[in-house]
Chain A
Amino acid sequence: EAQVTQNPRYLITVTGKKLTVTCSQNMNHEYMSWYRQDPGLGLRQIYYSMNVEVTDKGDVPEGYKVSRKEKRNFPLILESPSPNQTSLYFCASQEGAVSPLHFGNGTRLTVT
């Protein structure tokens, strides 16, 4: 089954403790991206990747890092999480720049 898998689904952590949210897709898509969803703000792009070893900032990249060492994986790294990063995070993949996004089921992160 074609899907985007992200883990964990829920994560509670404390300020400053590094964490990684994993994302994997099995559709051989070129593009992958991370979005965060906040009430009243909709979804905003954090980072995106056009291909292996090619990543770039989206609209809200501060406090996040990503890597794309393999085509299928695109982890999101928070080196020093802060409470304002409490949010619902979605990983997505797409075949090309104007193709529909396919989303994972989301990771709800709480930073205390």
Chain B
Amino acid sequence: GEDVEQSLFLSVREGDSSVINCTYTDSSSTYLYWYKQEPGAGLQLLTYIFSNMDMKQDQRLTVLLNKKDKHLSLRIADTQTGDSAIYFCAEGESSSNTGKLIFGQGTTLQVKP
């Protein structure tokens, strides 16, 4: 079945760039998503990319998609302490109409002042 994998932890200094990586298995995924979860809160949609795009930029966020390698990355420029959270990569299950997203385990981003 479909699978999404991410590294579990990333630590950066405030002001540096953060890059969170993700690999997925479903080559027919239509959309790929990045969600952010702050402590005690739900998952907030950060951004998403359509599978026919290579890159999407939204203010400090840049998403890169390498469809050949099934690799997705999220770059956060000028990382701030408020960016500390868990980041989830997810792919849509395009082979069915369930609406289900397959989530990675989440990457905990720690931003040191």
- Whether B41 and A105, one on each chain, are in contact in the complex, defined by CB atoms closer than 8 angstroms, is yes
- Whether A106 and B100, one on each chain, are in contact in the complex, defined by CB atoms closer than 8 angstroms, is no
Chain A interface residue count, Cβ-Cβ cutoff 8 angstroms: 26
Segment of B12-20, B67-75, B102-110 engaged in the interface with chain A = B102-110
Decide yes or no: A45 and B98 within 8 Å by CB, A40-B105, A100-B31, A100-B48 being known contacts.
yes
Chain A residues contacting B105 (CB-CB under 8 Å) are 40-42
Decide yes or no: A42 and B42 within 8 Å by CB, A96-B99, A98-B94 being known contacts.
no
Q: Looking at chain B, what size class is its interface with the partner chain?
A: 20 to 34
Decide yes or no: A101 and B98 within 8 Å by CB, A42-B106, A90-B42, A106-B42 being known contacts.
no
| Interface set of A (CB-CB < 8 Å, partner B) | 4, 31, 33, 40-43, 45, 48, 50, 56, 58-59, 90, 94, 96-106
Chain B residues contacting A58 (CB-CB under 8 Å) are 98, 100
> How far apart sit A41 and B3, CA to CA, in the bound complex (Å)?
12
Chain A residues contacting B92 (CB-CB under 8 Å) are 97-98
> How far apart sit A30 and B40, CA to CA, in the bound complex (Å)?
27
> How far apart sit A33 and B103, CA to CA, in the bound complex (Å)?
14
- Other A-B pairs beyond A56-B98, A58-B98, A101-B33, 6, CB < 8 Å: A4-B42, A33-B99, A42-B4, A97-B92, A98-B31, A103-B35
